Amino acid sequence: MEVRVAKTAGFCFGVTRAVNAVYEACRTEKLCTYGPLINNKVLTDDLSRKGVRIVSDLSVLDGETVVVRSHGAPKEVFEELEHRGVKHIDCTCPHVKKIHKLAAQSQESGRQLLILGDPLHPEVIGIKSYAKGSIVASDLEELKSVNFAYNIKYDLVVQTTYRHEHFSEAANYLKNLGLDIIIWDTICSATMVRQIEAEALAKEMDVMIILGDPLSSNTDKLHQICKQYCKRTFRVESIHNLLLNILNSDDKIGITAGASTPLAITEEAVNFMSDLENTNGNQSFEEMLDESIVTLHTGDIVKGTVIQVNSGGEVSVNLNYKSDGIIPKSEITSDPAVDVNDVVKSGDVIDVYVVRVNDGDGNVLLSKRKIDSQKNYTELEEAYTNKTPVSGKIIEQVKGGLIAMINGLRVFVPSSQISNRYVEDLSVFKGKEFNFNILDFDRSRKRIVAGRKELSVIEQNQRKEEFFSNVQAGQKLEGVVSRIAAFGAFVDLGGVDGLIHISELSWGRVRKVSDVLKEGDHVKVTVLDLNKEKGKISLSLKDVDGNPWNNVADKYPHGKIIQGKVVRIVPFGAFVEIEPGLDGLVHISQIAHKHVAKPEDELSIGDIIRVKVTEIDETNKKISLSKKEADGMMTTEEKAEAELKAEIPTVPTPEEFPADPVPEEIPLPDAPEVIPTEEA
């Protein structure tokens, strides 16, 4: 028996992306999917066991994050999710998203949209919602029944899983009608490749087995194609649904699978075929292919059954060979702290690499690490080829970047590729797990380069989308100050930055942002405004309860005499701080009873003065004050004290005393006349 598996069998990129996203998210979140994530009951049942239920009505949500299926959803579903503020993960296939965009553009430009596909398929239902009045035709015959008008402009899109030859027939028909039409080939390239490969395989095989869910559209197309070239074509959900008596021991059997079929189902089919025994009790196909005893050579990769794990971590393996195989602990794992019993156990069937056929004691020396390493290299090579993100952990900082452990392999991450913005201290990433893109892969040199710059942008946009979907103005949030600027402080709100403008740092006056905050400070902020289009979030550090304008009319009623500090002088008056965050204006006409030409002739910044409250405008946040009226309401004692202060001369400081004049020449007194003595 010969068994060949199509290279492109199983999950396509869009399905892989959706499945990975849901399995990752369900670890930490309560999820539900809007419709089955993909058309595969095996997978949806597994998700159900993990607590991910399927809903078709958003009114029955129970605090879950909603996952939009890979086939997409009608526009109205997204609008309702946004309107209700429901957190959701959009797993719509990128190819389907592209068709949504084309449909919306068609409607905006006033064109008539034609859709080629199954009108009952969720993908087509979703596309229709983006262009009202769309015409749907399932095949060329239905298309021929459409009454086309030559004064109307048309656009044609096609379901991603549609058969390419049928699409070509429909496209040629429309072109020959002479319509003003733009034809978009929106069939998924992976679908087309899978169909071409299935056709080629079916032409060479005696039996074709198509694995996939009964509801899967692309599986149905594969079945139709293979049936044309291989009469013994069978479509089954899994290999266990196949009637065994339809097979012969010398059959050449081809296996392919729809884009919604997990790899495990295909692998199960291949393994099952190799172990199959017919109802007459003949040998298994594997035995018929190799009737003699197994022969081994260094470098072979073979299957073996674990016999036991001894106390030292050494593993004995049955190879169907004249001697058992031995796997030292060092060839099971490179981590000495790992318990081998957590890796393999008695009865496990594992792939092993033959290091030496005879280790000197008659045993076959084996390695599991080499197999794992090869598989890991293969998986990373596939991730590189398919541009599929992979998970890894940063373990070390080196010159020029970091080392990540991905699939058990050391991978270099350049410093420029760790984030979408410059990071000065790379050590902050050590020990953290991320998703990476494989940027360069050279198996011969064992050189693998990874990065997450593009993923950082995608993840940041997703975080922003989630943030704007779940946060509203007035909401209080906690964050960490990430950067200080002259005009304010940026706060990290969990992967999304918001700005506290300097005017929102305090109710009082703030000269410098650094006087209030520093990087790394944990703060509690209030959301002032959200601009989703520009991605801007305005925050405030001010406590609403501490607003000095609260009950201002009760604190400072009309006519009350208060003291304040002159904080600013302008041509038309002076602003006086009554309390932090609360200023009032003394108009130039209210400074003194006499005419005042310039406010600075009477007042200086820093002066403490008495003022009278003359008006409070709470709507426009304005307070009018009068120094003139406050002065006129002084008591006799206050006036006497003010006058006394005015009369007391200012005592100059020692430095201000005038120096005594120094005369140019000081005259000396006349010398007395000398009278000689008698002795002289």
Burial class (CB in 10 A: 0-12, 13-18, 19+), 374: middle
Taking residues 631-651, report their average pLDDT: 60
Q: Within 10 Å of residue 114's Cβ, how many Cβ atoms?
A: 25
Structure confidence at residue 666 (pLDDT): 43
Structure confidence at residue 285 (pLDDT): 41
Question: Is there a domain that residue 585 lies in?
Answer: yes
Check pLDDT > 70 for residue 289: no
Same domain, 642 and 556: yes
Check pLDDT > 80 for residue 667: no
Look up residue 587 and give its two tokens: 């108009």
Taking residues 69-90, report their average pLDDT: 92
CATH of the domain at 105: 3.40.1010.20
Same domain, 311 and 352: yes
Place of tokens 């994530």: 37
Check pLDDT > 90 for residue 253: no
Same domain, 433 and 349: no
Question: Is there a domain that residue 288 lies in?
Answer: no
Check pLDDT > 60 for residue 307: yes
Same domain, 226 and 251: yes
Structure confidence at residue 642 (pLDDT): 58
Average pLDDT across the chain, whole number? 83
Model confidence pLDDT, tens digit, residues 135-152: 999 999 999 999 999 899
Question: Is there a domain that residue 8 lies in?
Answer: no
- Of 376, 299, 369, 300, which Cα lies nearest the Cα of 332? 369
Specify whether 382 is catalytic: no
Count the helix, strand and coil residues of the chain and give each as a percent rounded to the nearest 5.
30, 30, 40
Q: How confident is the model at residue 638 (pLDDT cuts 50, 70, 90)?
A: low
Q: How confident is the model at residue 241 (pLDDT cuts 50, 70, 90)?
A: low
Structure confidence at residue 678 (pLDDT): 39
> Do 143 and 173 touch, CB atoms closer than 8 A?
yes
Taking residues 517-522, report their average pLDDT: 90
Question: Is there a domain that residue 291 lies in?
Answer: no
Taking residues 619-628, report their average pLDDT: 90
Burial class (CB in 10 A: 0-12, 13-18, 19+), 208: buried
Spatial distance between the Cα atoms of 436 and 455, rounded to a whole number of angstroms:
7
CA 42 remoteness from chain centre: 28
Question: Is there a domain that residue 662 lies in?
Answer: no
Spatial distance between the Cα atoms of 340 and 319, rounded to a whole number of angstroms:
19
Check pLDDT > 50 for residue 676: no
Q: How confident is the model at residue 282 (pLDDT cuts 50, 70, 90)?
A: very low
Same domain, 260 and 201: yes
> Do 587 and 599 touch, CB atoms closer than 8 A?
no
Taking residues 235-248, report their average pLDDT: 68
Q: For residue 242, give every residue at least 6 positions away whose Cβ sits within 8 Å of its Cβ, in sequence order, or none.
A: 209, 234, 236
Highest-confidence segment of 265-269, 323-327, 419-423 = 323-327
Q: Within 10 Å of residue 402's Cβ, how many Cβ atoms?
A: 21
% of the chain at pLDDT higher than 90 = 28
Q: For residue 392, give every residue at least 6 positions away whose Cβ sits within 8 Å of its Cβ, in sequence order, or none.
A: 404, 405, 406, 407, 411, 433, 434, 435, 436, 450
Number of compact structural domains in the chain: 7
Structure confidence at residue 671 (pLDDT): 43
Check pLDDT > 50 for residue 677: no
Check pLDDT > 70 for residue 353: yes
Taking the CA atoms of 3, 7, 11 and 17 in sequence, report the sign of the dihedral they define: positive
Same domain, 588 and 504: no
Q: How confident is the model at residue 579 (pLDDT cuts 50, 70, 90)?
A: confident
Same domain, 557 and 643: yes
Q: Which of 64, 82, 123, 665 is catalytic?
A: 123
More confident residue, 261 or 117: 117
Same domain, 260 and 239: yes
Structure confidence at residue 309 (pLDDT): 85
Same domain, 438 and 521: no
Same domain, 596 and 638: yes
Structure confidence at residue 627 (pLDDT): 92
Three-class DSSP labels, 284-320: CHHHHHCCCCCCCCCCCEEEEEEEEECCCCCEEEECC
Same domain, 266 and 341: no
CATH of the domain at 591: 2.40.50.140
* Beta pairing class for 31-34 and 2-5: unpaired
Among the three residues 146, 167, 187, which one is the final residue of a domain in this structure?
187
CATH of the domain at 69: 3.40.50.11270
Question: Is there a domain that residue 64 lies in?
Answer: yes
Q: What angle do CA 644, 650, 651 make, to 5 degrees?
A: 130
Structure confidence at residue 566 (pLDDT): 93
Among the three residues 367, 398, 423, which one is the final residue of a domain in this structure?
367
Question: Is there a domain that residue 654 lies in?
Answer: no
Among the three residues 404, 424, 457, which one is the final residue of a domain in this structure?
457
Check pLDDT > 70 for residue 647: no
Question: Is there a domain that residue 376 lies in?
Answer: no
Q: How confident is the model at residue 337 (pLDDT cuts 50, 70, 90)?
A: confident
> Do 202 and 230 touch, CB atoms closer than 8 A?
yes
Check pLDDT > 60 for residue 584: yes
Q: How confident is the model at residue 290 (pLDDT cuts 50, 70, 90)?
A: very low
> Which SS3 state, helix, strand or coil, does residue 139 take?
coil
Spatial distance between the Cα atoms of 17 and 220, rounded to a whole number of angstroms:
22
Model confidence pLDDT, tens digit, residues 376-391: 888 898 889 898 999 9
Distance between start and end Cα atoms, the chain: 162
Give me the domain span that covers residue 224. 190-277
Structure confidence at residue 482 (pLDDT): 87
Same domain, 109 and 182: yes
